[in-house]
Structure 1
């Protein structure tokens, strides 16, 4: 399939994973090539880093993901922390990192990530700033099947009580019933994402926190997909 123009993921985490995989491939390849390729499949995108280096014995393929473990005889330096860290980051992206290898012929590392626009069902958007709600409305096009706007926490709670709601997006600073009170009064199984313009930690009830001044359509969609997947 064609390579996607956009992947909904965390840019810093993905960059760290690829930097690690490419660095390893270059370190263990004395001749031949190191290649990065991308392919799409139903519901996922696969990024592969392959090399023609020394390779890894079959019995060591999972052990290299153990912290501080190094393949005996490799003698190429390093701490043994790179691949374990890369796999942990892949898990945070709802992805998987795997290796295939043949001694003397090279190694292929495959990072598989979920792909596609998330479907979040009915979303309640609680923010007293009507202009920002309009911005979010545009960002949520294609993600929200239905969007209910609320100017404060009380309106959001009324919508939750009256409708079948799948997700809450809430500002923290609102008149009357503010965001923290709203979150405290939500049903236990209903996920909520805080979107705030203030520099403060996420309330315990929030599944994620996003900053208004750093918000993009891609970052919002990635966060929604991660939160929705975590509740299913």
Structure 2
């Protein structure tokens, strides 16, 4: 989605276009109110939404702000789900409908590693506490470059190898899709 807003104000000199995104920076000589935080915060928020905020300007003619945000459902090829709770695997499977091309359900880290070895997985969704090979060991043994999202019911920090951590009790399809988009975008 692209949103453009233009004005016919005094404009911003070419050398100042990136500087206006610095906190508290204001174009010298301009008599404007404000703190110089609006544009930096707007750009930061756009980034958190996996978007981008840019400006074009011509002195004496005005400025155009362009906000680009991702739209639609992300798409990922093969997803391996590693969770010992069969009911929760079904919940994830339902949430991934229309997002993942192929799903492989596994009950522990050992089965997940075997699935990763046998197929060309694009993403792992793993619980941390499973019998046998647990989630932390699974993450340590995954091939480099294979992104993994931890989905856990416990209050603990994400292991270093995890690209993201989501809590089971706060999981929604939208949160999962947003996280997948961010993780997959970061690996391309």
**TM-score computed with the length of structure 1 as normaliser:** 0.73
Match of 1:16 in 2: none
Which residue, out of 70, 75, 78, partners 1:122? Answer: 78
Tell me the distance in 2 between the aligned counterparts of 1:187 and 1:114.
28
Indicate whether 1:46 and 2:46 are aligned: no
Match of 1:174 in 2: 130
Match of 2:46 in 1: 90
**CA RMSD of the aligned region, Å?**
2.0
SS of 1:202's equivalent? coil
Match of 1:208 in 2: 164
Q: CA deviation at 1:55?
A: 4.2
Deviations 1:51-107 (A, max 9, x none): 56x443343333311332102344443332331232233234332111244667754
C-alpha contact 2:11 2:61 (8 A) present in aligned 1: no
Unaligned runs of 5+ in 1: 1-44
SS of 1:114's equivalent? coil
Tell me the distance in 1 between the aligned counterparts of 2:175 and 2:7.
32
SS of 2:128's equivalent? coil
Tell me the distance in 2 between the aligned counterparts of 1:127 and 1:55.
58
Number of aligned residues: 187
Tell me the distance in 2 between the aligned counterparts of 1:225 and 1:96.
15
Indicate whether 1:69 and 2:36 are aligned: no
Q: CA deviation at 1:225?
A: 1.2
C-alpha contact 1:56 1:107 (8 A) present in aligned 2: yes
Bigger mean CA offset, 109-118 vs 144-153: 109-118
Indicate whether 1:199 and 2:177 are aligned: no
**TM-score computed with the length of structure 2 as normaliser:** 0.88
Indicate whether 1:220 and 2:176 are aligned: yes
Unaligned runs of 5+ in 2: none
Bigger mean CA offset, 58-67 vs 130-139: 58-67
Tell me the distance in 1 between the aligned counterparts of 2:83 and 2:155.
17
